[in-house]
Structure 1
Amino acid sequence: MNIRLLLVSHASTAALRTGRIPADDPLDARGLAEAQAARARLSFAGDATAFVSPAVCARETALALGLTATVDAALADIDCGDWQGQRLADLAAHTPGDLAAWTHDPEAAPHGGEPFTQAQQRIGEWLDALDVAPDRAMAHTREVVAITHAPLIRAALVHVLGAPSAIFPRIEIAPLTVVEFQRSPLRGWTWWPASY
């Protein structure tokens, strides 16, 4: 059984546009409009299985894209601990060393938060656990769509490519980016440039 997985980063939020670390923010009017406009260009298979991060912005993005998705905690954003909701400019002014470490060292974690390597392990386990649903055993390819966050998509790319974790700051994922992976019994997971 082959799997085609489309990872979609949630639509933009006011926090993203103002340089603030997310704090389970909802989509604002602009983000919602962007997600609704993307619905026309992102056509998912009618029988696709959909998953979504527990975050409000991800769930609202899934709805705007017309998806009925199952919430999966493995797709949650990276935990930013005490930095959640804070402006990056303020962190740079007050804790520049800690912020620099977090943005360059995959083992560094924000105060009380999760390092990139832990998020990478979490999404890697989720990817590797995706399997054929019993009622789809006869289908040739199963399509899965997951609405999640940019750091988790970075982590998934690193996992699938078998790349060193230290490359994570070199990967940019914009709101509503689609990253496609395919898994086959012969090759395992591979990255495919999405055609959206």
Structure 2
Amino acid sequence: MTRLFLTSHASTHAQQRVRFPADDPISERGRRELERVAPPVVDRAFTAPEIRAVDTAAALDWPATVEPALRDLDYANWSGVPMDSIPELELAAWLSDPDAAPHGGESIAHLITRVGAWLDTVDESPERIGVVAHPAVVKAATVCALGAPVTAFWRVDVRPLSVTRFSGRGGRWTLKLS
């Protein structure tokens, strides 16, 4: 049975300032968080390609392979923009319709499909696999593992450096809470 440890990257300035992320580095707060964390022991690791994920994996001492399928949601025109600067109707459309992409990037539904496809490629083995990704990617993986509707995406909250544990066999995943 494969065990996955999906870890959200450490804090960034975008999170602290409630802006949509660009390719942001870890903030000073994130570095302090990393000093206090005891990461799970893993046999191999993957990381999203963005700086904040790669730096988090390095700080956890996980020699991780960059996996493009774990990249953050493409926010396109909203990258780096404060959430309160987004026109209310556009934001409402995005938050209420998983297929909407008013920012010109990727929809939530597409993200969930992409992450689900990656989960399907994880081979069955007795290994412990660490993954450093983004809150949106962890939320998408959770929706996939539970077989929940795409609208459940907004009902999952992922904090910086939180670890979401999955176990699986034969392409079926179980969320493990501890």
TM-score, normalized by length of structure 1? 0.87
Aligned to 2:57: 62
- Contact map agreement 1:15 1:21 (CA 8 A) in 2: yes
Report deviation, 1:168: 1.1
Report deviation, 1:37: 1.7
Figure out how many residues of one structure are paired with residues of the other and give that number. 178
Report deviation, 1:66: 0.9
**Any unmatched runs of 5+ in structure 2?**
none
Q: Deviations over 1:148-182 (max 9, x none)?
A: 00111111111111111011111110111100110
TM-score, normalized by length of structure 2? 0.95
- Contact map agreement 1:83 1:110 (CA 8 A) in 2: no
Aligned to 2:95: 103
- Contact map agreement 2:5 2:40 (CA 8 A) in 1: no
Whole-Å Cα distance in 1 between the matches of residues 91 and 56 of structure 2? 29
> For the pair shown, which has the larger CA radius of gyration, 1 or 2?
1
- Contact map agreement 1:80 1:110 (CA 8 A) in 2: no
Aligned to 1:42: 39
Whole-Å Cα distance in 2 between the matches of residues 43 and 169 of structure 1? 26
Whole-Å Cα distance in 1 between the matches of residues 136 and 96 of structure 2? 13
- Contact map agreement 1:104 1:169 (CA 8 A) in 2: no
The list of structure 1 runs, each at least 4 consecutive aligned residues, that deviate by more than 4 angstroms after superposition, is none
Report deviation, 1:188: 2.0
Aligned to 1:175: 160
Residue number among 96, 111, 126 corresponding to 1:119 in the alignment: 111
**Any unmatched runs of 5+ in structure 1?**
133-139
Whole-Å Cα distance in 1 between the matches of residues 67 and 145 of structure 2? 20
Q: For 2:127, what is the secondary structure of its paired residue? A: strand
RMSD: 1.3
Aligned to 2:4: 5
Q: Deviations over 1:126-164 (max 9, x none)?
A: 0010115xxxxxxx6111111000111111111111111
Whole-Å Cα distance in 2 between the matches of residues 59 and 67 of structure 1? 10
Output the amino acid matched with 2:81. Q
Q: Deviations over 1:28-83 (max 9, x none)?
A: 22111212321xx22313xx110000010011111111111000110100000101
Q: For 1:5, what is the secondary structure of its paired residue? A: strand
